[in-house]
């Protein structure tokens, strides 16, 4: 049975209804009530990877996605993302793919988003059959945008970064990697962790 949570929309007086996955992971800003089955990695102290809630709607649109009033129900699956810089884990923040009002309250959501820092990426789309990519997620996050020439920094370009999916290194542009159900995606720069994660145990129901 699907459960629904709501997020207040201060401007439109509407609600963002969160579908079944939100019952397993908390809404934006909330802490998890149940830890993922796979232990969380050590979080990097680098602060530049944190999500800036402002201009979230602009980042969603820059990713080629829509700002929705509710999570889509036509297609629903999850992938998992780990990020490493020189072998050190970087936390994937909560609330990627949300837009916020001036008071930092959520007022919109993308089909591609996160609810917490578990690295679980939620795809809840209003139309079935579309592809969602790592590049779109990075755009919504606001990182690896090429605005910093420092290699491997949070705002560097994607040169020198590698991606593995389920333990297999991917050829081509990292931005083009398509997110698929229950894939374990590892984005890394410099020294890779040993071993590179190849699986992720999703919480029951995801």
What digits encode the pLDDT tens for the residues 73-120?
999 999 999 999 999 999 999 999 999 998 889 999 999 999 999 999
Contact 78, 120 (CB under 8 A): yes
> Looking at the predicted structure, is the pLDDT value of residue 153 above 90?
yes
Q: Taking a C-beta distance cutoff of 8 angstroms, is the pair 109, 70 a contact?
A: yes
Q: Which residue has the higher pLDDT, 13 or 148?
A: 148
Contact 136, 64 (CB under 8 A): yes
* Overall average pLDDT of the 143-166 stretch: 95
The pLDDT score that the predictor gives to residue 48 is: 83
Question: If DSSP codes are grouped into helix, strand and coil, which group holds residue 81?
Answer: strand
Residue 41 pLDDT greater than 90, yes or no: no
Whether residue 28 is predicted with pLDDT greater than 50 in this model: the reply is no
DSSP assignment letter at 197: P
Q: pTM for the whole thing?
A: 0.81
* pLDDT computed for residue 46 by the predictor: 55
Q: Which of 1-15, 83-97, 160-174 has the least mean pLDDT?
A: 1-15
Percent of the chain exceeding pLDDT 90 equals 69
The three-class DSSP label of residue 187 is strand
Short-list 82, 76, 83, 164, CA closest to 122? 76
Are 80 and 202 in contact by the 8 Å Cβ rule? The answer is yes
């Amino acid at each position: 049975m699907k459960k629904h949570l709501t997020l207040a929309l201060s401007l439109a007086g509407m609600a963002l209804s969160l579908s079944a996955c939100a019952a397993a992971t908390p809404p934006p800003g909330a802490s998890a009530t149940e830890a993922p089955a796979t232990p969380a990695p050590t979080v990097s102290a680098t602060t530049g990877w944190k999500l800036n809630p402002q201009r979230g709607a602009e980042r969603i649109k820059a990713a080629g996605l829509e700002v929705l009033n509710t999570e889509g129900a036509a297609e629903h699956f999850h992938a998992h993302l780990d990020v490493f810089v020189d072998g050190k884990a970087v936390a994937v923040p909560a609330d990627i793919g949300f837009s916020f009002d001036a008071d930092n309250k959520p007022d919109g959501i993308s089909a591609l988003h996160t609810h917490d820092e578990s690295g679980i990426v939620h795809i809840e789309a209003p139309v079935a059959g579309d592809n969602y990519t790592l590049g779109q997620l990075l755009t919504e996050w606001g990182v690896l945008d090429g605005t910093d020439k420092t290699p491997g920094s949070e705002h560097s370009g994607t040169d020198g970064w590698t991606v593995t999916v389920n333990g297999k290194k991917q050829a081509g542009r990292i931005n083009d990697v398509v997110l698929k159900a229950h894939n374990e995606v590892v984005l890394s720069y410099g020294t890779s962790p040993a071993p590179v994660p190849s699986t992720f145990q999703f919480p029951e129901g995801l």
